Structure 1
Amino acid sequence: MASRHSAYLRNGLRTAALALVIATTLAACKGGAGPAEAQAQTKSSEVEAIPVEVVEAARRPIAASYAGTAALEPRAESQVVAKTSGVALAVLVEEGQQVKAGQPLLRLDPDRARLSVAQAEAQMRKLENNYKRAQQLVAQQLISAGEVDQMRYDLENARATYNMTRLELSYTTVEAPISGVVASRSIKPGNFVQINTPILRIVDDSRLEATLNVPERELATMKAGLPVLMQVDALPGRAFQGVVDRVAPVVDAGSGTFRVIAAFDGGGALQPGMFGRIRIDYDQRPDALVVPRVALLDDGDPAMFVIRDGKASRVPVKVGYADGEWIEVREGIKPGEQVVTAGKVALREGSAVQVITAANGKQADKAVAGTGAAATGAGQ
């Protein structure tokens, strides 16, 4: 019994000693990990530099302009119609052909009209002879003056009828009312043409016009003679010069706009019906301080991030004219200052930045996108 009791005592002492060793080891391990954990927390709390792209504010010419879209229209257009009926014997022009005013376009069968002219002429000649004889007889007092007057009226009526038949005969040859190009033809030789039926369409493409509906706030800036620049979708990469031809100074009450008509030289690459983007320059500033338009922030009043001492500073600005991708800055920044053009979504006031050149633009975009996503998630 005594030996068995001693064995139990020895086992209990060993268990207690082992527990003491384990507790001591755990305490030592916990105490040793404290400085490393603090160091990791310190590193994670450090603010990483945000990659951005920048452009220096510089001086260059800039223009104040109004931009809009419109379709080109011919200055003159004519829908040619037949003024008499008949069978088309010959069509003298084709689509796309240039014609001059008065040029024959179509010939109709003239036989019926010629017979009418001959009949009217014979009647007129008969009345002319009767009137001459009546003048001799009235001098001899063989007929009354009233009978002579009636003969004169009949003769004038016959002459009018004769002239009318000659006019009808002339209508059998259809002539071009204006100079231009044949835009469409809806008649073929042998077709029967009804009176007042459209048969051809002629457009004067020597001068083309584009009509813009401009907001009434621009009424004071639009003047005749202003230069106009136009680009058309059908001719990419090309620009065409024009001029403001006239301004309608009446504002439409319904739309709040007025009409500005720009004119361009035709007869070349420009054609009626083309759709174009039009810019009218109404003022020029030869030495304006400009930055890319993408530098502007989209959160309220005009502002942009400027790099100062390696950090981003949000600066309110006063902007002026906008010209394409550039915008004028009249107050807020100085020439040579760097404004952020890419990466600004992740910036805050005082953020440390890392300037990435434009050559690494794709890498910068990826880095900025990742940083921006992280900033968005943190904000939530």
Structure 2
Amino acid sequence: MSARAGLKAAAIAVALAAALSACKGPDPAQAQAQKPGKPEEAAVDAVPVEVVPASRRAIAASYTGTAALEPRAESQVVAKTSGVALEVLVEEGQHVKAGQPLVRLDPDRARLAVAQAEAQLRKLENNYHRARQLAEQQLISAGEVDQMRYDLENARAHYNMTRLELSYTTVVAPISGVVASRSIKAGNFVQINTPIFRIVDTSRLEATLNVPERELSTLKAGQPVSLQVDALPGRTFQGVVDRVAPVVDSGSGTFRVVCAFAGDDGLQPGMFGRLRIDYDQRADALVVPRVALLDDQAEPAVYTVRDSKAVRVPVKLGYSDGEWSEIRDGLEEGEPVVTAGKVALRDGSVVHVIGGSDGMAGKATAAASAGSRQ
């Protein structure tokens, strides 16, 4: 083949390639890249949240506070006379009854005083009887008889006083209860008015709350009270409101509420406890977890989920009971409320429901969507 023929064949091949390229049209990727229009919008990231459906349950209106348990009755036993303790009859921790002997003091001096007073009394009684006989015979004046009668009465009072002093040599329990402390031993000399025992009545314990005056109309005597103490974890004790002070302290703006508990099952004076007074009950209240309530300073509200978006819903609150809050208005039963992730939400934020039990998130979202369509 000549050179001229080769050049001609090359030109034909180039022309065929150009024609084929024109038939195929432009490359789709290049066309898409070169196509004029708006820039592609960035995808919105969904906020992950956890939800719980609004449900119905019993809820109680209550007031809570803390206080220490105190015995309803307590006595510091003191010696009413002086003397040597011959015998100590009880020990710490022992239960005693009112009138039970606790200590016997040396009674010898008191017995001698009783004997002396009794002798003087008998002498004056005889003198008075003789004087009355003489007065009937008009041998002595009526004034002398009156004076002897006064002396007799004075001697009788002195005699009774010595007998009382003798009784004081046996120290008895003024109340029933438990011996909380003892500060005497056999052989000790006891001075008059010296405390030697402390007795507390543990059959009934009291806890006093200082309650704000706004609760004055809600707390009444007889309302149930539950008590939990740190010393006995996992146990709840039941009691009642025993009495409510009718006067508000002007300095603190509080009034006293005294709750009473039976002193059994391990409760002891001095234990520190948390008290809850239930003053109203609602058997079928619509409730949501308290963590679902928004923390901002606006009106009470929660976030619900509708069509995969967060919707801020104002609500009217009722009672609060532990971790639950009653919803009086704003939500329907089964409507989901956001319990986790609400800090990152705004009204209309796209959300992705996660967590919960199997199918719970989907059921809650479906229920919310159905409720919004109605």
3-state SS of 2:214 partner: helix
What residue in structure 1 maps to residue 148 of structure 2?
A: 151
Deviation by residue 1:342-369 (Cα, 9 ceiling, x = unmatched): 1111112222222222479xxxxxxxxx
What residue in structure 1 maps to residue 291 of structure 2?
A: 294
Gaps in structure 2 of 5+ consecutive residues: 1-29, 359-374
**Corresponding residue to 1:231 among 203, 222, 228:** 228
Q: How do 1:51-200 residues align onto structure 2 when only pairs under 5 Å count?
A: 51-200=48-197
Structure 1 residues 104, 306: CA separation in 2 closer, same or farther (over 3 Å shift)?
Answer: same
Following the alignment from structure 1 to structure 2, what is the Cα–Cα distance between the partners of residues 185 and 254? 39
Deviation by residue 1:46-77 (Cα, 9 ceiling, x = unmatched): 22222211111001111111111111111111
Following the alignment from structure 1 to structure 2, what is the Cα–Cα distance between the partners of residues 262 and 196? 33
Partner amino acid, structure 2, of 1:248: A
What residue in structure 2 maps to residue 209 of structure 1?
A: 206
Partner amino acid, structure 2, of 1:338: P
Deviation by residue 1:307-354 (Cα, 9 ceiling, x = unmatched): 111111111111110000000011111110111111111112222222
What residue in structure 2 maps to residue 12 of structure 1?
A: none
Following the alignment from structure 1 to structure 2, what is the Cα–Cα distance between the partners of residues 347 and 240? 42
Following the alignment from structure 1 to structure 2, what is the Cα–Cα distance between the partners of residues 193 and 267? 35
**Corresponding residue to 1:351 among 349, 352, 363:** 349
The number of aligned residues is: 325
Shift of 1:95: 1.1
3-state SS of 1:314 partner: strand
**Corresponding residue to 2:326 among 320, 325, 328:** 328
What residue in structure 2 maps to residue 219 of structure 1?
A: 216
Shift of 1:136: 2.5
Question: How big is the alpha-carbon RMSD for the aligned residues of Structure 1 and Structure 2?
Answer: 2.1
Shift of 1:252: 0.8
Shift of 1:223: 1.1
TM-score (norm 1): 0.82
3-state SS of 2:210 partner: strand
Following the alignment from structure 1 to structure 2, what is the Cα–Cα distance between the partners of residues 292 and 336? 13
Partner amino acid, structure 1, of 2:339: T
3-state SS of 1:96 partner: coil
What residue in structure 2 maps to residue 245 of structure 1?
A: 242
Gaps in structure 1 of 5+ consecutive residues: 1-31, 361-380
Shift of 1:183: 1.1
Shift of 1:141: 2.9
Q: How do 1:257-276 residues align onto structure 2 when only pairs under 5 Å count?
A: 257-276=254-273
Partner amino acid, structure 2, of 1:151: M
Following the alignment from structure 1 to structure 2, what is the Cα–Cα distance between the partners of residues 212 and 64? 17
Structure 1 residues 42, 169: CA separation in 2 closer, same or farther (over 3 Å shift)?
Answer: farther
Percent identity reads 79
3-state SS of 1:181 partner: strand
Partner amino acid, structure 1, of 2:318: G
Which has a greater percent of helix? 1
Following the alignment from structure 1 to structure 2, what is the Cα–Cα distance between the partners of residues 302 and 189? 70
**Corresponding residue to 2:275 among 255, 274, 278:** 278
What residue in structure 2 maps to residue 364 of structure 1?
A: none
